[in-house]
Amino acid sequence: MANLEDAAHFLRGADKILILSHRSPDGDTLGCASALSRALIALGKSVMFRCADPVPPKFTYLFEGIEYGEFEPEHIVTVDVADKTLLGSLEPYGDKTDFAIDHHASCRPFAKETWVEGTAGAACELIARLIPALGAEITPKIADCLYTGISTDTGCFRYPNASANTYRIAADLLEHGANAAEINRLMFDTKSRAAVALLKRLYGNMEFHCDGKCAVFCLTSDVIAETGASEDDLDGVSAMVRQVEGVLLGFTLREREGGVWKVSMRATNPADASVVCAKFGGGGHKGAAGCSLTGGLEDVKARVVAACGEAIKALENK
């Protein structure tokens, strides 16, 4: 397994470098790619960037002013890519990748060399250490890119993956000029009109069962079409269902084709979402799990609510 020094050594000796982000790119993979691009270009190297999916509008500021080249790549680096299938349509590059830099404990190495630190809250933490090791400067723009990755991957320092080291790197980035408050406002405090329409349906139609300990929200095709909510908007909803005081198990039912309903469940300690979802052939973690059921909406909902009720009763009898 490679380390920081190996990555710095490799990049110091490389030129005509292609940087790859994972498909459905998030703030971390794009923060890494944009920050590393800026540093390598400042060192006089030619750099290209590719991603299977377009950069979402909220992240385009990361790439403003970067002068990418057009050339036949001689070296390929991936950032925040835990598996070559996550390159999407760029998967053929997986076997040609020279160096993979990642922070997923579940990383399945595919590159010639892999530097993975499973305890880092974001891959941007690794890049924040790599850039000075390359002899490049953390400019204010680079600090913005790295802060974006760290803040988005840790839910603005809310999730357990934010370690003391994460906070310390963020402190350094602020001192290098990162506009932390403005970035967080853009990332976390702005709701699209579609998201507002979805929240209107969510808070209007959420149902409570089991004495308020189980909450359900049904994302029918109608709701999705009517609100115009994106996958990104929809993803956040399952977590919100669980956030209501007193709720131990919250889930959304999302309509798929052919009468299939996808269940996304979240649990608050001591409830266990993975145990409930396992009853329907699904799985996941204690805090977040999923499964799929087929049938009519009311029937499917009643079955999952009943399973939640049993789990809640079992906890109460403990």
Q: What does the alpha-carbon distance between residue 318 and residue 313 come to, in Å, rounded to a whole number? A: 9
Among 76, 206, 214, 237, binds its own copies (CB under 8 A): 206
Sheet holding 214-219, edge to edge: 207-209, 214-219, 249-255, 260-267, 288-294, 283-284
80 counts as binding Mn ion under rule CB under 5 A: yes
Residue type, 4: L
Segment near its own copies (CB under 8 A), from 64-72, 78-86, 190-198, 253-261? 190-198
Site for Mn ion contains 233 (CB under 5 A):
no
Select the span of 3-11, 95-103, 171-179, 296-304 touching its own copies (CB under 8 A): 171-179
Write down how long the chain is.
318
8 A C-beta contact, residue 180 and residue 69: no
E strand or H helix at 133: helix 123-133
- Select the span of 27-35, 89-97, 164-172, 276-284 touching its own copies (CB under 8 A): 164-172
Applying CB under 5 A, among 117, 125, 144, 153 the residue interacting with Mn ion is: 153
Of 14, 146, 142, 133, the residue nearest 80 (C-alpha): 146
- Count CA atoms within 13 Å of residue 296 on its CB side: 3
Q: Which residue is nearest to Mn ion (CB)?
A: 28
Q: How far is the CB of 196 from its own copies (least distance, A)?
A: 5
In the three-class reduction of DSSP (H, G, I as helix; E, B as strand; rest coil), residue 20 is classed as strand
Return the closest-CA partner of residue 79 out of 47, 106, 104: 104
Q: How far is the CB of 148 from its own copies (least distance, A)?
A: 13
| Stretch in the footprint of its own copies (CB under 8 A) among 34-42, 204-212, 254-262, 293-301 | 204-212
- 234 is an interface residue for its own copies by CB under 8 A: no
* Residue of 67, 70, 193, 270 interacting with its own copies (CB under 8 A): 193
Per CB under 5 A, does 102 bind Mn ion?
no
Q: Does 171 bind its own copies (CB under 8 A)?
A: yes
Mark residue 19 as left, alpha or beta (left: phi above 0; alpha: psi -120 to 50; beta: remaining): beta
- Quick one: which of 24, 139, 165, 230 contacts its own copies (CB under 8 A)? 165
Inter-residue contact 80 to 103 (CB < 8 Å): yes
Residues that bind its own copies (CB under 8 A): 156-160, 162-168, 170-172, 174-175, 180-181, 184-185, 188-193, 196, 199-200, 202-204, 206, 212, 239, 243-246
